[in-house]
A and B are shown apart, each in its own frame.
Chain A
Amino acid sequence: MSTPLQVYEPFRAGLPKLGKYWKSLWSRRTFISEYSKSELREQHFDSVFGQMWLVLNPLLLSGVYFILIVIIGGTTDSARYVHLTASLFLFYLVANSLTGGVKSITAGQRLILNTAFPRIMLPISAVVIAIFKFIPTLIVFLVIKAIMGSQFSIEMLWAIPILMITLFLALGLSITISCINVYFRDIASFLPYLTRTLLYLSPILYEASALNPNLKALEIVNPLFPILDSWSRALVHGEVPQTSSMLQGLAWATGIFFIGTYFFLSREREFAVRL
Chain B
Amino acid sequence: MSSLSASKLQKTNELAVSIKNVGLTYTTAIDRRPTLKARVKALGRGGKQTRVVRALDDINLDIEYGQVLGVIGTNGAGKSSLMRCVAGILPPTQGRIEVYGSVSTLLALGVGFNPSMSGRDNVFLGGLAAGMSREEIEGHFDEIADFSELGEAIDAPMRTYSSGMYARLAFSVAATVRPDILIIDEALSTGDAKFKEKSLNRVKELRSDQRALILVSHAMQTLRETCNDVAWLHKGQLIQRGEPNQVIDAYQEFLHLGKSAAIDEDV
Contacts and interface: CB of A to CB of B under 8 A. Distances in A.
Contacts of B86: 8
B105 interface: yes
Nearest to A6: B99
B89 A184 contact: no
- Indicate the size class of the contact surface on chain B: 35 or more
B34 A183 contact: yes
Contacts of B53: 273
B88 A34 contact: no
B107 A115 contact: yes
A21 B37 CA distance: 34
Interface stretch (A24-32, A134-142, A192-200, A215-223): A24-32
A71 interface: no
A185 B26 contact: no
B107 A114 contact: yes
A110 B106 CA distance: 11
Nearest to A187: B36
A1 B39 CA distance: 50
Contact of B88 (A113, A116, A274): A116
B76 interface: no
B129 A1 contact: no
B29 interface: yes
A80 interface: no
Contact of B98 (A6, A24, A108): A6
B130 interface: yes
A107 B125 CA distance: 14
Majority secondary structure of chain A interface residues (helix, strand, loop or mixed): helix
Contact of A8 (B37, B92, B102): B92
A4 B93 CA distance: 19
B37 A113 contact: no
A270 B92 CA distance: 11
Nearest to A115: B110
B91 interface: yes
Given A5-B99, A109-B113, A31 B125 contact: yes
B100 interface: yes
A42 B117 contact: yes
A1 B28 contact: no
Contacts of B27: 273
B29 A274 contact: yes
Contacts of A184: 34-36, 39
Interface in A77-121: 107-117, 121
A115 B129 contact: yes
Interface of A: 1, 3-11, 24, 27-28, 30-31, 34-35, 38-39, 41-42, 107-117, 121, 183-187, 190, 269-270, 272-274
12 contacts: A8-B86, A8-B97, A9-B91, A28-B129, A31-B128, A42-B117, A108-B114, A110-B113, A115-B105, A184-B35, A184-B39, A272-B84
